[in-house]
Every structure is written in structure tokens, then in C-alpha cells.
Structure 1
Amino acid sequence: MPFNIDFFGSDFSTFFVNNNGNLTFVNPLGQFTPSPFPITNQPMIAPYWGDVDTRGTGAVYVASPNESTVVVTWDQVGYYNSQTDLLNTFQVVLRDRPDTGLDGNFDIEFRYGQLQWTTGDASGGSGGLGGTPAQAGFDAGDGINFFTLPGSRTSEVLNLANISNVSLDTPGLWSFAIRNGETPGSTPDNPLLPVIIEDGFQFDFNITEPDRPFFIDPDVAVGYNYIVDSGPNMTSVLLPTGIGDGFYELWSDSSGGNCTDFVSSGTTLTGGTTFNFASPLRCFSVRGIETSAGLDPTNPLAFVTGLTFESAGSVSMRQIPITVFVDDGTTQVPEPTTSAFIYAGLMGLGLLARKAK
């Protein structure tokens, strides 16, 4: 690479491009059936770890369009054994980000142009489906730190081309920031970005230290409902400072565990102060964000929330905005987060692919 990266405390300046949809940093990897993360002794960034077969059609391209960017593209690749009836096109982009404070900081982007197959014949698949499907994400290789994209190792992995953690307008685009060698969600300055869904935000992540806050970052309206769909319940919440008057209202679930209706608990939360729940909660609501605060819905650090959980494990949760009506009678709904460099990158995707060929 034309730059160094700090990947979970290990510095790398070279990598291996493996045919089966991933990059590794210590040794090359020929394994075609994906093992579930975490995997020890194998730091990896995997846009689509599956049984890629380029003998029938397609190819893998590597490019460095400038000194701060590396791009690897799996273009129109089939699956084992030399099958070309279904084809996948996907890409990983590594961006050097010393401007964020430290040498070694970098961004990972996954881009999915077309996903039609999940599994090669040697991974138990038939006709490109079934068996052990592909996995996407990144893994520190330490057995602890990793992140797996939703749908991995299931048939739903194909849906990565239709959803995004950037915006509803950029399906197939995923962005992650690695800062100070730590995974997104480790600090308020580097929260985990959610999957953008029609009615809010979907978070899927793994808890390794239950008492350590995990920071999630959606946009805001006047409040949010926090709902754990699976995994350990929440034990505390830490809300940001500097928003309006700095005080918030805690609302409790009144629907008998269905998380469909909330009532005021009479409890005031103070920004910057951790509030411990009397017992672990599957859902709660935060209200009282003043419209006069004028939060910019395009600001990716608008309302960072810290949560702790009752145990370790995988968490799937949502944070759903509570909307308000403005004077003209229309509904004021936060827009999904976007970034100028994302759009610039999208516009350059086709040019880069053609140049690589």
C-alpha cells in the first residue's frame, strides 16, 4: 500500500489479495468456505468471503488511483466449479485518513454492484445457493475484535447490494472508520453507523465487554425509541451534552414487552451522565430534544448514544426517530447521513473499473 494502517493495534503496509473475496495481512488465505468471525491469527478485511472462481469469467483488479486510496475489485466473478450462470461484482476501498488525528487511521468501504450467488459447489452449495453462504466484514485476528455485516453466512447476504449504512440513496455502499486501531463503536468520536431503513436505523454488532459503552450514531428528530430485537438487554445509557438544554426525558415501555407504546417515567436524564436502569431493558425511549436545538440531520456526529449491556453476545437493535409536524403540516423526518467523499467515490467507480481493465 502507499500508506500504513493501524488495524487493531497492528501496523501493516502490505496485504494479500485472495481470490475468495478477502484481503489478509499476515499470510495469504486459500480457504473458500467462510468460517464465522472471529478467527485467530488471521487479520482480514472481507467484502465477500465466498468460493469465487475466476476461471470461467471475471477477474480481480487492484488499483491505487492516488497515494491515499487502494481499491480491489472482484468484477463479474462466478463461483466454483467454473460456474458463470450467476455473477457477483463487489469492491473494497481502503482510504488513508491521517487528517482524523493519527497516522494509521483509515476508512474501509465495501461496495456491492451485483450479488447473485452466495455459495460455491465445494461449500455445500447447488446452483450458487444453499450450503455455507459468503461472509462479509472485518476481523482483527485476535479472537475478540470483529464486525460482521448483516446477512453473512445466510441467504440474506445477497441483500448487501440493496441496503447501506450511508443512506437510502446509496444501496450497496458501506463505510467504516478505523480510528486509533479500534473498531467503530469504541468511542464517541468513532461511533458505529447503522443500516439505514425506512423507519429509522438498524444496528447489528457484537458485545465483548458488557460494561464498556458501545456508541451508536443516528441522526435525530425530537426523540428516539431504542429497541433490542435480539441479544442481551441494555443496562445503562449515556446521552450527549450540548444538545438544547442538555436534559432529556426517559419513557418506559407500556405495551407489556412489545415495545410499541411508551409512557413518561418521570425520570430526567442529564447529558454526559451515565444513567443505570433499575433492571435490564429490552426497549426504552428518549424524548425532550428541543426543536429549537436545530440539529443538522446530515451531521454524522449529531447525537451519539452510549449503551451498556447485561452480558456479552451479538446484538441486533434499532433506534427509531420520533418525528414532529412543522407549521406547514408536513412531517419533519431526519434525512439519512451522507458524506461528500462517498458521492465522489461513487462517481469514480465506473471510471476506475474501466481504467483497471
Structure 2
Amino acid sequence: GNGERVTPRLDNGSSEAIKLQQPFKFFGRTHNQTFVNNNGHLTFTEPLSDYIPLLNSRRDIVAPLWTHLDNRHGGTISYREDTSSVVLELVTAAVIQYFTNLPLPFTATSVFVATWDSVPYSSGEGVVTFQLVLISNVVHSFILFNYGNIAETLQRWLAHYDTVDFAHSYNFSLSTASELSSNSNVNVNGRWGFHVYDGNTTKQWLHEQS
């Protein structure tokens, strides 16, 4: 089903292992499960409780906002895998709009959405709202980061993705976390998109920076 599930209200907590109806390919590795971790990241092989962000965490990781968050004090962290035609049409249109050099036709067959809704920083400085979307049609995989209101923080934070072998990574080079909402790499403020698998592991991933 497409029901929304929530992660436990637990400091440094994570979801249980989420079995994906359709495997997600991330730079050549195929993942059949994922974990939504409360501190702003998603991992595939095991949960991750770390709240201090690491550039090289030695795992496949997608981290829209890796920092110390505490859902015991408010907000909701939820997730769902969606195969409804309405949502698939929506993300298909977004991918075609953002990735103009894609060999068409592209049609999404699976979407996984994780949402951090008004979750407070551990420091009490404010709350953050953001979303991570995994999009796939087996041959191509994409990730979208959607940022709503992101309060300023003095906590260490990181927005990035990385692979277990460090071969593919992208680190957002912004000076404050709140700038995630007012910047973009796809010309839509607060939205970032990345093509993370194209069926050809030898391709040069030109959009990356180390």
C-alpha cells in the first residue's frame, strides 16, 4: 500500500528496515531495503544513528540535512513507497523537466518519499522541514531534495550524498543551512535533483563535485 509510516520518537533513532517493492540502484549498487534515520539521512545496508555529519561515512548515504535533530520534542518523520499513477506522473514530469539531456521516453515506476516535517534541532534553535524523494524506472535512478522552512543553526550540518567507495559524492557548498531553501540546481528554489544511476556504471558523472 501507499500508507505513510513514521519513525520512532527517539533521539538518534531510525526506522526499521523498509523493504522496497522495487529495488533502487545507486551508482551501480542495487538496494532492496532502506532505513530512514531521524538525523536527516537515509541509508541502505543498516541504520545510522550518527548525528555529527561525516564527509566519508563509508556507506551509500543520501543526506538532505544531516545534523542533530530530535523528534521527541515535536515534528514528524514519515516515509512511504508510492506507486500510484498520480504520483508517478508527477515525478516523471519533474524528471523530464529537470534532466533535459535524458534519453526519452522516461517513465517513473517507483517513488520512495521520506519527509521531515517541522522537526526541531537538538539545540532548540528552531525546526526544519525537508523531503527526500527516490525516483526509479530500473534503468535510471534520481534523487530529489525538497526544502521547506530551514531554521538557522550553529550545529554542524551537511547536505550531501556519498557512496561506500567514495567514488561518487556531492556536497552542498552553502554557508548556512537556511540557504538550502533559497537555492537550487534545477531552477526551482528549495529543490535539488541528481541523476544517480543510468544503467552504465562507466559513465563520467559530470554533475558531481568532491
Q: Same fold (TM over 0.5)?
A: yes
Q: State whether structure 2 residue 31 is matched by structure 1 residue 4.
A: no
Q: State whether structure 2 residue 78 is matched by structure 1 residue 61.
A: yes
Match of 1:107 among 120, 142, 161: 142
Residues of 2 paired with 1:62 and 1:159: CA distance?
24
SS of equivalent residue, structure 2 residue 176: helix
In the TM superposition, 1:59-98 aligns within 5 A as 59-66=76-83, 68-81=110-123, 83=124, 86-98=126-138
Matched-pair identity in %: 32
Q: Are 2:66 and 2:159, in contact at CA under 8 Å, matched by a contact in 1?
A: yes
Residues of 2 paired with 1:71 and 1:108: CA distance?
10
SS of equivalent residue, structure 1 residue 51: coil
In the TM superposition, 1:1-357 aligns within 5 A as 1-36=20-55, 38-40=56-58, 42-66=59-83, 68-81=110-123, 83=124, 86-98=126-138, 102=139, 105-118=140-153, 129=154, 131=155, 133-151=156-174, 155-167=175-187, 170-180=188-198, 186-187=203-204, 191-192=206-207, 205-206=209-210
How much has 1:39 moved relative to structure 2?
2.6
Q: Are 2:141 and 2:198, in contact at CA under 8 Å, matched by a contact in 1?
A: no
Larger-Rg structure: 1
Residues of 2 paired with 1:134 and 1:2: CA distance?
31
Residues of 2 paired with 1:117 and 1:2: CA distance?
37
Residues of 2 paired with 1:75 and 1:10: CA distance?
30
How much has 1:176 moved relative to structure 2?
0.5
How much has 1:50 moved relative to structure 2?
0.5
Deviations 1:237-287 (A, max 9, x none): xxxxxxxxxxxxxxxxxxxxxxxxxxxxxxxxxxxxxxxxxxxxxxxxxxx
Which amino acid letter does the alignment assign opposite residue 36 of structure 2? V
Partner of 1:327: none
In structure 2, relative to structure 1, the CA distance for the partners of 1:20 and 1:46 (3 Å cut) is same
Residues of 2 paired with 1:45 and 1:16: CA distance?
11
Q: Are 2:41 and 2:66, in contact at CA under 8 Å, matched by a contact in 1?
A: yes
In structure 2, relative to structure 1, the CA distance for the partners of 1:112 and 1:140 (3 Å cut) is same
TM-score by length of 1: 0.43
SS of equivalent residue, structure 2 residue 126: strand
Partner of 1:324: none
How much has 1:46 moved relative to structure 2?
0.5
Residues of 1 paired with 2:196 and 2:37: CA distance?
22
How much has 1:6 moved relative to structure 2?
1.9
SS of equivalent residue, structure 2 residue 21: coil
Q: Are 1:21 and 1:48, in contact at CA under 8 Å, matched by a contact in 2?
A: yes
Deviations 1:115-171 (A, max 9, x none): 1043xxxxxxxxxx2x5x2111111111332111222xxx4232111011111xx21
